Structure 1
């Protein structure tokens, strides 16, 4: 049983690399089998289809992302700092998780039913995380929000819209500065005070 789990994990790790190199559409089961040094029939023993492998790959990457986010936001800091940690951790980690990012952004994958299910699942997870941070901020009187769920939806949407400009422009060391600037706008708006 432990050996089966190791083989399955190996296939997922190899598939992560293959999918990130060739993309979902160009990757074949043969590519994964060659990378894993297994016969194609061995790959099919563990996974019924390329879609199932891709789903496992994206799930693995989302677990990595959310584990890192939780590690950061569970620190005993103010809610506004947790929000910054959430945004910074998410942006930093998503760079490394090319398959997860591809699912969230690539519109040509939308026709695949399981992709929409994955997107909806991860969006709901992100909204729940932000809603918890916002509720905490309301309780501590840091935030004045009438509807934390709606605010969380708006913030997740805004953050997703900023991914490409924040991640593509510039190098990693300036990312924190750019995120700080964006967070200030999200917190305080663009109105003159």
Structure 2
């Protein structure tokens, strides 16, 4: 990503997270990016195109980081733990991107449907690690697709908890609690 596109990417995340998709304007994004409106339109023809770029690049970064940290582990449970830690830390570092993604998951607009498809690719990566753990006998057998969505939901819940209570708990404590609850349950 070149310097100008990086500026637009970061500005779009900031503006959309603050104003919402409908409230964000091309003018606001250009001003925040420090570029002329013509430069913005040179790179992106519409706010919709910017949004798609932000989401696809943002989720690609999540998937790349997930792959990097999980490749360092051989045990499938350790891969899942590393995935949790990595993703929650990334959300912590990129709260505005997380807000943009979460705010646009629902709805029937084309951008929202496309976002769900991109998130689905991410969840399929989680499912792959769950299958590995099941095949290794480290997790009980179950419906891996639903488990992957549940796992993703728990990560999102942990991120929301961290955003709301950011000064009350250390991120490592939150990560430890989430991974324990996901992998070992909450039953006594």
Q: Please confirm whether the aligned pair reaches a TM-score higher than 0.5, indicating the same fold.
A: yes
The residue number in structure 1 matching 2:163 is 167
Give the root-mean-square deviation of aligned CA atoms. 2.8
TM normalised by structure 2 equals: 0.81
The residue number in structure 2 matching 1:89 is 86
1:185 and 2:178 aligned: no
TM normalised by structure 1 equals: 0.79
Tell me how far 1:86 sits from its aligned partner. 0.9
Tell me how far 1:36 sits from its aligned partner. 4.2
- Secondary structure at the aligned position of 2:161 is classed as helix
Residues 97 and 172 (structure 1 numbering): CA distance in 2 closer, same or farther, change over 3 Å? farther
Moved runs in structure 1, 4+ residues, more than 6 A? none
The residue number in structure 2 matching 1:151 is 147
1:106 and 2:92 aligned: no
Tell me how far 1:9 sits from its aligned partner. 4.3
- Secondary structure at the aligned position of 2:74 is classed as coil
Partners of 1:191 and 1:98 in 2: CA distance: 31
* Structure 1 unaligned blocks of 5 or more: none
Once the two structures are superposed, what CA deviation does each residue of 1:2-39 show, in whole Å capped at 9, x if it has no partner?
A: 9xx65444433443444445443333212233344443
* Structure 2 unaligned blocks of 5 or more: none
Bigger relative contact order, structure 1 or 2, given CA contacts below 8 A and separation 6+? Answer: 2
Tell me how far 1:60 sits from its aligned partner. 2.0
Q: Which has the larger radius of gyration?
A: 1
Matches within 5 A, 1:30-45: 30-45=27-42
The residue number in structure 2 matching 1:176 is 172
Aligned length: 188
Partners of 1:138 and 1:149 in 2: CA distance: 13
Tell me how far 1:112 sits from its aligned partner. 3.5
Give the alignment partner of residue 117 of structure 2, picking from 80, 97, 120: 120
